[in-house]
Structures are given as structure tokens and as C-alpha cells.
Amino acid sequence: MWIASPWRIIPHSFVVTLALVLTTTLAVGKSGTECWRSAEHAQAPARVSAAPGVVPVSVSQAPIWKTITIGQYKGANAIRAAIDAAPCPIAIGDQADEIIGRPAFPFSRNKLDVDLVVVSVAELGFGPDGASLHDIYARAGTFDLELCPAEVGPILRLNYLDQPLGDFLHVAMRPVATYGGELVDFTLGNGGSALLLIGGDARPDVVLTGGVRLIFMRPRVDSVASGVAPNSGSGLVNR
């Protein structure tokens, strides 16, 4: 039986409250001081400026923000153990933890380097009112940006320990269904007392406002040449 760290599984409502309060209280029992000292000097992903409703040419040439390796952990327990042992306190919402533990959660069998790009809804050419996930993902696809493997959520959380305070990034991914049938994706944030990995509503008609920033994957030429299928198509769900 898996025994969870008290930092790992916490009610979703508490995570949301924590994110909104953005308290600067340091966590006890882990090297929070070092984490937040690093975060003070961390740089959030660069933004691409554009007039409302205009897609900047640079979106198609947006720089690689981070490269991470998936396939290192062979299952939910391995991921959870790594999170519990992380040098910075990480809090996981109940929905995020549930989908990681689903049998259908797609863990990569082999190690694979993934290049990540961050763009906002507005930078994709939508106004401040934003657009639905379906339309956002479709627009991103025209710039050769693909949905991330679901595994990117927890792996990036482990690799992005100096996320600036108040920064939140939405993982563009195929949603994973909970046991109750809810479609869930990941958001990474820094709420002050802990780094956050939370689950959110990932129905195709959910609207994200223009200021929301998303993490996409930029496919590599070698992966295309090797016949690796692109991870695109917002209509696909991992159940």
C-alpha cells in the first residue's frame, strides 16, 4: 500500500485557496528557504508581444524554454516517491494525483527528450476574452506546436523547482479521465508555501482567457523521421 506524504495529496479546494492567497510562509521540514531564494532570481518564460487578435510571426519561431526527459519513472509510485523526496516542497491536488494513478495514465516506456515552448492564449491571436481549449489547440497546431505527453506535468514539476512566486503554467495535453469521468489536465504554479501541481477542467469547450500561458511541445525532426506519432488532437482522451 502506498503511504502518501502529507505534502503530496491535499484537497483540491485547499490547493486553489493556497494559489490565490500566494502566502510567503516557508514550508517546514524541507529546504524551502533555498527554493524560494532561487525563485527570487528565476526568470519566467519570455513573453511574445502582439496586438490583440494578431498572431505574432515569432510564435512559430518561439525559443525552446526547457528540455526535459520523460520515461525515467516507470509508474505512479515512482513518480510519487520522487515528488516526496524533492528538495523543495511540492503539493499535489487530489485530481492531479488521481489521474497520475489511473491505469490509463500514459507513462513513456523509453526515455525521450521533450522540447517545451510557452505561449499565451493572446499570443496565439485570441483576444483578452480568450478561446476554448479546442480552438486554442487547433490554432497552436498551425504553428507546429503539439500537445505534451501527460507525463510532462509531473516531470516538469520535478524539474522546475525555481518557478517564480505567483507564476502559473497550463500544460497543453490530452486530458486524462478520472474514475468519475471528469476530464483533467495539469497546471504548475508557485503558491508561496509550496510548488503546486494541480488538476483542472479539461473539457474541449472550457474557455481560457488571453493571459493564460500554456506549455506546448515542439516536435523534433529526428522524432518525425523515426516515425514517432505526433501527440496532437484535442479530441483524444486517455481513459
Domain containing residue 156: 29-220
Give the torsion sign (CA, 11, 151, 141, 47): positive
Place of cell 488532437: 233
Q: How does pLDDT run across 100-157, given as a tens digit for each residue?
A: 999 999 999 999 999 999 999 999 999 999 999 999 999 999 999 999 999 999 999 9
Q: Is residue 126 part of a domain?
A: yes
The percent of residues in the chain predicted with pLDDT above 90, rounded, is 63
Chain centroid, CA 73 distance in Å = 17
Distance CA 62, CA 69 (A): 20
Place of cell 505574432: 56
Distance CA 223, CA 79 (A): 25
- Element holding 94 (H helix, E strand): helix 94-100
Distance CA 171, CA 148 (A): 7
What values do phi and psi take at 27, rounded to 5? -75, 150
Q: Which triple of cell numbers denotes residue 37?
A: 531564494
Whether residue 129 contacts residue 174, with contact meaning beta carbons closer than 8 Å, is answered with no
SS3 162: coil
pLDDT higher at 232 or 234: 232
Question: What are the C-alpha distances in Å from 94 to residues 16, 88, 98?
Answer: 11, 19, 6
Q: Is residue 49 part of a domain?
A: yes
Q: Is residue 239 part of a domain?
A: no
Q: Is residue 16 part of a domain?
A: no
Q: Is residue 40 part of a domain?
A: yes
* Least trusted range by pLDDT, from 43-57, 96-110, 186-200: 43-57
Q: Is residue 1 part of a domain?
A: no
| Structural domains in the chain (count) | 1
Indicate yes or no: pTM above 0.75: yes
Q: How does pLDDT run across 11-21, given as a tens digit for each residue?
A: 544 444 444 44
Q: Is residue 236 part of a domain?
A: no
pLDDT at 207 over 90: yes
